[in-house]
Structure 1
Amino acid sequence: FIFNPMETKAVLNAVPPYGHVFATEKWRNSPLIQSLKGGGVRILFEDELGLADFHLPNKSCVLYVSECDVVAGNGYKRKLVRYRNTSSHGFQELVLVEKTRLSEQYFGAMQKLVVFDLGLTLLPVGGQAEASQLIAQIVHGVGRENPFRRRTSSRLLDPLVLALVQHVPGVGRVKALALLERFSSIQQLCNAAPAQLEPIVGQAAAQQIHGFFHKDTAAGT
């Protein structure tokens, strides 16, 4: 076998077909993969995805940061920087982070690094089951015509951004579209204060959205 760096580069930049996900071998027997399969997503295993764990058909790559990674120390920070610097050309870089009772105390620092310092898209998930639901939603949304257009533009909304916003608790399709009329990116929505969100979605939903990106909301809200 002769190593060909061009072949590796081709895999790193490969986009899976509609309904499929590229995943690294370490995920083969994981609950996340089993859940994706149960949701009708087909998995193609590849070991040449760089630092990414998954490639999605909307030309985005995913790095998964587990609760153990967050709690263990600073190793994940170096990995995040390398992920940003070496990700496939033209891919949107997503970072899924397990936000649990154990890891929530570190979440503020994680968010600052991922969103503000590295300029990546961060989405907190409760675990692999929730992550698989989000990935499946993105995968199944690719290739379908999005009937919702911005009132101020004929450009179709990015299916990925729409899917991510709909994933926030208390935000359905209608509220997601309203939010994206005002905030054009996940970063802008993440940085929005509750007072900026309230006129669009109401006080309760505004608190849920802000809490989703910054800290856990109070129990029962």
Structure 2
Amino acid sequence: MERTPHAGAGPVHVPLGHIVANEKWRGSRLAQEMQGKVKLMFEEGLALADFYLSSRYCILYITEADLVAGHGYRKRLVRVRNSGHLQGIIIVEKTQISEQYFPEVQKFTVLDLGMVLLPVASQLEASCLINQLVQEQTREPSRNPFLRKKRCALSEPSLVQTVQQIPGVGKVKAPLLLQKFPTIQQLSNASVQELEEVVGPAVAQQIHSFFAGPH
């Protein structure tokens, strides 16, 4: 089979129904769980992402160890976000050990970068999620396989914790905002007048300034 070009050389060619995986995942529990359900192709030198579903869509996987180690994962997320040809989804291992670090990575991924984030409890759960995304892409190749997952991810109760970190919001106003603006995209695009109806003029201006300013 023709070898897949490295990510640094441009878009990665992924045959329909396949996943191109970074060589570092060969032999991992995640790869073992995915084998037989999808067709994996391993490649060395995939600098940007861990898994490619197509030439446009990729997955970055942040392990429990990555979170505990610090902010090293941030550069990878920013590079995909700024690549211009890739749309990424971020899968994060949210365990008892890494749970304390999760709000920070959630804020950085969802609020600062505007990317899709999905927490998983294990690599087994992650394999089921990735397999489902591949199946959806196989059934409807022209459809963005992340759209439905994005809505699910941003409606999770954990998103409330992220919205609470917006200046002036807090624990009381966050659920109220999410009732009217159930996604970060809707919240960030809301006008001051629309926000005022929920949180009043002062906080509405703070929220609007937060999203309008540089991150």
TM-score bin, normalised by smaller chain: 0.5 to 0.7
Name the residue aligned to 2:148: 162
Could you tell me which runs of 5 or more consecutive residues in structure 1 were left unpaired when the two chains were aligned: 1-6, 147-155, 171-186, 200-221
Are residues 1:92 and 2:95 paired? no
Q: Kindly provide the amino acid, as one letter, of the partner of residue 160 in structure 1.
A: F
How many pairs align?
Answer: 165
TM-score by structure 2 length? 0.63
Q: Shift of the alpha carbon at 1:145? A: 4.5
Instruction: Provide the rounded CA distance (Å) in 1 between the counterparts of 2:140 and 2:178.
Output: 28
TM-score by structure 1 length? 0.62
Distance 1:101 1:169, change over 3 A: farther
Instruction: Provide the rounded CA distance (Å) in 1 between the counterparts of 2:41 and 2:9.
Output: 12
Distance 1:25 1:9, change over 3 A: closer
Q: Shift of the alpha carbon at 1:140? A: 0.8
> Could you report, residue by residue, the CA deviation over 1:100-139 in whole angstroms, capped at 9, with x for unpaired residues?
1111111111111111112221111112111111110010
Name the residue aligned to 2:120: 125
Q: Kindly provide the amino acid, as one letter, of the partner of residue 66 in structure 2.
A: D
Name the residue aligned to 2:192: none
Please tell me the root mean square deviation across aligned C-alpha atoms, in Å: 3.4
Distance 1:18 1:62, change over 3 A: same
> Could you report, residue by residue, the CA deviation over 1:180-201 in whole angstroms, capped at 9, with x for unpaired residues?
xxxxxxx9xx8695456679xx
> Could you report, residue by residue, the CA deviation over 1:29-81 in whole angstroms, capped at 9, with x for unpaired residues?
0111111113x200111123222111003731111110111011222233333
Matched ranges for 1:200-215 at <5 A = none
The question of whether the paired residues in 2 share the 8 Å contact of 1:12 and 1:48 is answered with no
Instruction: Provide the rounded CA distance (Å) in 1 between the counterparts of 2:14 and 2:113.
Output: 26
1:47 to 19, 44, 48: 44
Instruction: Provide the rounded CA distance (Å) in 2 between the counterparts of 1:167 and 1:133.
Output: 15
Name the residue aligned to 1:18: 16
The question of whether the paired residues in 2 share the 8 Å contact of 1:18 and 1:143 is answered with yes
Distance 1:167 1:77, change over 3 A: closer
Could you tell me which runs of 5 or more consecutive residues in structure 2 were left unpaired when the two chains were aligned: 165-173, 181-215
